[in-house]
């Protein structure tokens, strides 16, 4: 599936190797992380004074895997919410550190440039299965000025 990331800065221009913590945190459970994600979403949405809400659809797949199914799940949410889909992209790196994924890094940069308000993913596994890295990623997205929305809520892990 072709990526629609025209107009975004080349990955080489981005800071893709910003380290994130990997230490275990007390209380980093799925329910707490879901609450954190929803609070970030609410904060960003309060700051949007004029629609449309601009989002990017993002998926993570294994090398050679077709992202179409995961992206269809994100598209359904974008349509249901009447958001403007600015771009669709995916990383085919498998479960790697989100800080090293080139297309996710492009989304961070687009949020910082105010081209996007948020990222829509099918589920938390498009980011990571590790609580501490997921929390770091939510913090990074918030620091950039955006939100993460999932088509399927975090599971109770």
pLDDT per residue, tens digit, the chain (157 aa), is 444 443 333 333 333 333 334 444 445 588 899 999 999 999 999 999 888 999 999 999 999 999 999 999 999 999 999 999 999 999 999 999 999 999 999 999 999 999 999 999 999 999 999 999 999 999 999 999 999 999 998 764 4
| Residue 156 falls inside a structural domain | no
pLDDT value of position 79:
97
Contact indicator for 17, 50 with CB cutoff of 8 Å: no
In this prediction the pTM is 0.81
CA distance 69 to 32: 28
Do the domain assignments include residue 54? yes
Would you state the pLDDT for residue 50? Answer: 85
C-alpha closest to that of 2 among 86, 93, 51, 68: 68
Measured CA to CA, the distance from residue 67 to residue 58 in angstroms comes to 9
What are the structure tokens assigned to 88, written together? 């669709």
Structural domain range at position 137: 28-150
Q: Is residue 96 part of a domain?
A: yes
| pLDDT of amino acid 147 | 98
Number of domains in the chain: 1
- Please report whether residue 93 resides in a domain: yes
pLDDT of residue 75: 97
Q: What is the CATH number of the domain that holds 126?
A: 3.40.50.1390
Partners of 56 in beta bridges = 87, 119
Alpha-carbon torsion, ordered 114, 118, 120, 123, to 10 deg: 140
Q: Does residue 75 lie in a domain region? A: yes
- Residue 154 has a pLDDT of 77
| Domain annotation covers residue 9 | no
């Amino acid at each position: 599936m072709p990526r629609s990331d025209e107009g975004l800065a080349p990955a080489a221009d981005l800071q893709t190797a910003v380290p994130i913590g990997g230490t275990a945190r007390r209380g980093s459970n799925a329910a707490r992380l879901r609450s954190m994600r929803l609070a970030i979403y609410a904060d960003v949405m309060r700051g949007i004074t004029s629609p449309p809400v601009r989002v990017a659809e993002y998926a993570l797949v294994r090398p050679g895997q077709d992202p179409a199914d995961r992206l269809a799940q994100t598209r359904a949410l974008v349509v249901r919410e009447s958001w403007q889909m600015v771009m669709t992209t995916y990383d085919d790196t498998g479960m790697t550190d989100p800080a090293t994924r080139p297309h996710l890094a492009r989304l961070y940069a687009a949020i910082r440039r105010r081209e996007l308000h948020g990222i829509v993913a099918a589920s938390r596994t498009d980011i990571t299965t590790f609580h501490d890295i997921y929390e770091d990623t939510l913090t990074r997205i918030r620091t950039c000025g955006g939100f993460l929305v999932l088509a399927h809520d975090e599971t109770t892990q």
